[in-house]
Amino acid sequence: MDILYNSTRTKGNQVKASEAILKGLSEDGGLFVPERIPALDKSFRELSEMTYGQTAYEVMKLYLTDFTKDELLDCIAKAYDEKFDTDEIAPLVEADGAHYLELFHGATIAFKDMALSILPHLLTVSAKKNHVKNEIVILTATSGDTGKAALAGFANVEGTRIIVFYPKNGVSPIQEKQMVTQKGKNTYVVGIHGNFDDAQNGVKNIFGDKELAAYMDEKGFQFSSANSINIGRLVPQIVYYVYAYTKLLKKGRIRDGEKINVVVPTGNFGNILAAFYAKQMGLPIDKLVCASNENKVLYDFFRTGTYNRNREFVLTSSPSMDILISSNLERLIYHITGNDPEKNKELMEKLKEGGSYTITEEMRSKLCGFYGNYASEEETAERIHGLYQDTGYVIDTHTAVASCVFGKYKKDTGDGKVTVIASTASPYKFTRSVMEAIDSKYAKMGDFELADALSEISGVRIPKAIEEIRTAPVLHDHICEKTEMKKMITDFLGI
């Protein structure tokens, strides 16, 4: 049965999956959500014998119902290929009582590759299905990882251009070097004076600018998004939770139907929302553990029922989580209102106008499957150090936040269920923070010296993504104020 997509802010106006992917964001500012969550139609035993690509098809066919089997299989085959440096695509590594789901084996060594390897193919198929004649302009804000993964995915893809805005002083040196050295005639990277929330708000405002949209259309362009607000980003992320569960089953780590817990380092809420959708599809997940860094707006939300962005913005060693407005939380809020767009819109307007909202007790009761906590900068560094000392396994700062919160969850609850921790980035992406946590003697080294040292102590080969940028020239040196983002776009497009 076909699944249509609703806006989180308006009744009616349903669209097909391909239309939702093309639009990225609804005209009313809402996010697209499926009218219902489909159930998995294969047994866990059947799924456990499948490759990552086969699992992807079984999950994505249930959501992207206006794609033909051949279209979807072709997109999957183009996405999950030799770009990934492991045959498994998303291997599970057991260390210190948890299973780390390594989501960083793609071209840009971060979990965003898992969805952004396939999104360009889904988007170009969607454009053909809907007879789009305009050139598609991918407009994206990044806190560090989405930008490079999107740039790599869309570089030189015919019929598209991509513009990425990032906080100039809010990403790691490696993250910035990855973006500003990106090749491709259709790519454009801009650092803004501001933080990620400024970049994200600027992009959302541009999406909502009807005059600009009409002008763009007149000139032969239209916007779409590669952020996790795009349902074409979210659906592929559901796959790896299903894959992880079935691989645990195949390895004999769990019984068929046994519940597991999932821990996710969380910024914009898309990754953990994908785990929530997997649970709604029938995957036996008990607790969804939401791990925050010192920007603990989500921890406070789960603790109090109030979402309040009116606080100091903290720059941390886990910059992809330095976010105070978690856009994808809106989808969860919509679901716990009983899919009531008017109630959801009211809360989102309160957030925009006053910076906070409070959900009802009835809504809070529907969040019992979540647990929230956070890790300080000191705790994050201690966890990297401790895990390496005890096991020899090296994790990045974001994964360390999740690992630390997992420890707090076990201490608080005594829950001993098998647990999957989403390992969202390679330690090579944050070498300075990782290596200094392991031993202060590394503090005087340069970024690429640190990569060499990390390879030596971990026994893990330096990823191609790092080797490529050692001597790569800077191709993008654009910087602007947050008020100048629209001008940067029109200048790039030459309109």
Question: Which are the catalytic amino acids?
Answer: 112
- Determine phi and psi for 188, rounding to 5 degrees: -150, 125
The answer to whether 344 and 333 have CB atoms below 8 angstroms apart is yes
The b-or-e profile of 155-169 (16+ CB within 10 A means b, else e) is bebeebbbbbbbbbe
Q: What whole-number distance in Å separates Cα of residue 172 and Cα of residue 296? A: 20
Distance CA 223, CA 231 (A): 15
Tokens of 354: 């006053």
Angle at 190 between CA 187 and CA 193, to 5 degrees: 170
Give dist(CA 199, CA 55) in Å, integer.
34
Tokens of 401: 């936040």
On whether the CB atoms of residues 195 and 319 are closer than 8 A, the answer is no
Q: Whose CA is closest to 137, among 17, 226, 31?
A: 226
What six digits make up the tokens of 296?
Answer: 């603990």
Q: Are strands 187-193 and 478-481 parallel, antiparallel or unpaired?
A: parallel
| Beta-bridge mates of residue 92 | 101
